[in-house]
Structure 1
Amino acid sequence: MKFQIPLAAGAVTQFLLRVVTCLAVLSFLSQISLYYLPDYPLIEYVAKIFNVDAERNLPTFYSFLALLFSSLLLGVIAYAKNLDSDRYKNHWKILSFIFLYLSFDEAGQLHEKFINPMRSLLNASGVFYFTWIVPFGFLVAIFLLSYSKFVFHLPVATRKLFVAACALYIGGAIGMELPGGYLFSTMGMESVPYLIVATLEEFLEMLGIVVFIHGLISYIKTYVGGVSWNIYIAGKNSQVTEPQNIGLPALSEPANTNLLR
């Protein structure tokens, strides 16, 4: 018995939006409950497991999977582009590795290891309290400049989605980190203003990845022919055969130019 589960951009996006919204709302409510509600069983555990600004919990696990999924989708496109000898094949490969790194950075909070050394070096405070944004902001600027031609070669609909995703993700990760750093250094992380900014920061990052995944799946559907999961369940009397190796089509002639389908 065979089940085929196609990855439709609209369905995946709706599901991820629900997950992201639930995580952000549960995080905010669970943190607020620490300040304004009476103690209840497991109050601190609930607040920690849903806190989008903490590590090793449900939001972190979700973000790790979302970034890893983005890396896999980019790998599919890179593989197809390589078969087609596309001029931008290496750009897709590098993007796949960048998102692979971001997924492990999200799981291990690797960028935060730069905070103390950079803070000592720059004697930073205020909006630059989270000093990891200095070296990473420089790397982001180099990345944006080096990928400008790549972005403009993309179809218009894909380009808009990628630019929107980039603006949301960078706006959350770096843009909201600036007021967050100021509030953290002046009011502490247990203040309500910092809680609001931190929740908004993580929500924008997660939303940016949802938009990016939507763009990737739409691009794959239009220019590669789509992607789906095949699940095989062997019955008692059925024979298990090796699945056929079906190569991805060339990308020079898109099968369908309507990215909204």
Structure 2
Amino acid sequence: MSLYFLPDYPSRDFLAMAFNLDGEVNVPAIYSSVALLFSSLLLGAIAHVKNLDSDRYKNHWKILSFIFLGLSLDELGQLHEHLIGLRGVLNATGFLYFTWIVPFAVLVAIFLLSYSKFVFHLPVPTKKLFVAACALYIGGAMGMEMPGGYIASTMGQENVAYVIVTTLEEFLEMLGIVVFIHALTSYIKTYVGGVSWNIYIPGKNPQVTEDQNIDLPALPEPANTNILQ
């Protein structure tokens, strides 16, 4: 907004580029990428525990971990922008100006259908948070991308309206990931019994140390998730 409403000042263009929510490889992009990567690590930890327990949905957790790893890489490198070449093939204008929406919409539909039973089996609090996080993230990534595409195709991208839409889009995505991380950490604490990571760096004279760990008892997932709590 400083580019449109504030007079020129030292490093104005640099700061605008560094904190532009629609930019690439800047502060917001790195933050979003790290948040998605952290989600992938939490999902991987849950998948490891579920694999040890031979849980029926262990592969769902594993696939989710890889999906979020891919989203993290995409957020940092804006890989989905390479699908912009579909614009000429589809002759896309207006709301479908950013043509990556089309293949991603198909993938999202397949994902939602494939994970419906998985989400249904989750404890009610986790289920609600998962649905909220999904709605916020997809609503931001795809829902706000369509009006942004319409503005870009009719008015261009150098205007206040486009900046407002893209800012709201990225904000919803970030908020969705925050809700998702909260859902995962709450699930780990309540139903997995906690997770710890240990880093061992060998030296020339290693010394054995003992740490007292207090384990949190894991609670079993409720058998009947249809009962509202």
Q: 1:252 to 1:86 in 2, by over 3 A?
A: farther
**Retained in 2: the 8 A contact 1:162–1:215?**
yes
Pick the aligned partner of 1:84 from 53, 59, 79. Answer: 53
**Pairing of 1:95-110 with structure 2 (within 5 A):** 95-110=64-79
1:121 to 89, 111, 117: 89
Q: Using the alignment, how far apart are the partners of 1:249 and 1:78 within structure 2?
A: 18
1:73 aligns with 2:42: yes
Q: Is the 8 A contact 2:192 2:219 kept in 1?
A: no
When residues 53 and 203 of structure 1 are mapped into structure 2, their CA distance, relative to the original with a 3 A threshold, is: same
2:157 to 186, 189, 196: 189
Residue in structure 2 matched with residue 224 of structure 1 by the alignment = 192
Residue 115 of structure 1: CA displacement?
Answer: 1.0
Instruction: Tell me the equivalent position of 1:253.
Output: 220
Aligned mates of 1:122, 1:243 — CA distance in 2? 63
Q: Higher relative contact order by CA 8 Å / sep ≥ 6: 1 or 2?
A: 1
CA-CA distance at 1:251 after TM superposition: 6.7
1:78–1:93 Cα contact (<8 Å) kept: yes
RMSD after superposition: 2.4
Contact map agreement 2:190 2:219 (CA 8 A) in 1: no
* Change over 3 Å in CA distance of 1:164–1:187 after alignment to 2: same
SS of the residue 1:51 aligns to? coil
- TM-score, normalised to structure 2, is 0.88
Distance apart, 1:187 and its partner CA: 1.2
1:32-73 residue CA offsets vs partner (Å, 9 max, x unmatched) = 111121110010000000001000100000011000000000
Contact residue 50 and residue 59 of structure 1 kept, 8 A: yes
2:80 counterpart SS class: helix
- Counterpart residue identity of residue 220, structure 2: E
Return the offset for 1:249: 9.4
Task: Check conservation: 1:78, 1:90, Cα contact below 8 A.
Answer: yes
Partner Cα distance (1:98, 1:229) in 2: 22
The answer to whether the aligner puts 1:206 opposite 2:147 as a matched pair is: no
Q: Measure how far apart 1:253 and its partner are.
A: 3.1
Unaligned runs of 5+ in 1: 1-31, 233-237, 255-261
Provide runs of 4+ in structure 1 moved above 4 Å. 228-232, 248-252
Q: Does structure 1 residue 58 correspond to structure 2 residue 27?
A: yes
Given residue 194 of structure 1, which amino acid in structure 2 is its aligned partner? Answer: Y
Question: Separation in 1 of the partners of 2:216 and 2:54?
Answer: 12
- What is the number of residues matched between the two proteins? 216
Deviations 1:1-50 (A, max 9, x none): xxxxxxxxxxxxxxxxxxxxxxxxxxxxxxx1111211100100000000
CA deviations over 1:121-170 (Å, ceiling 9, x no partner): 10001110000000011000000000000000000000000000000000
- State the 1:229 CA deviation: 5.7
Gaps spanning 5+ residues in structure 2: where? 222-229
Taking the aligned partners of 2:38 and 2:210, their CA distance within structure 1 comes to 23
Alpha-carbon contact 2:193-2:217 (below 8 Å) kept:
no
- Which position in structure 1 is the counterpart of 2:108? 140
Deviation (angstroms), 1:223: 1.2
Contact 1:84 1:252 in 2 (8 A): no
CA distance in 1, matches of 2:96, 2:66: 28
Structure 1 length as normaliser, TM-score? Answer: 0.78
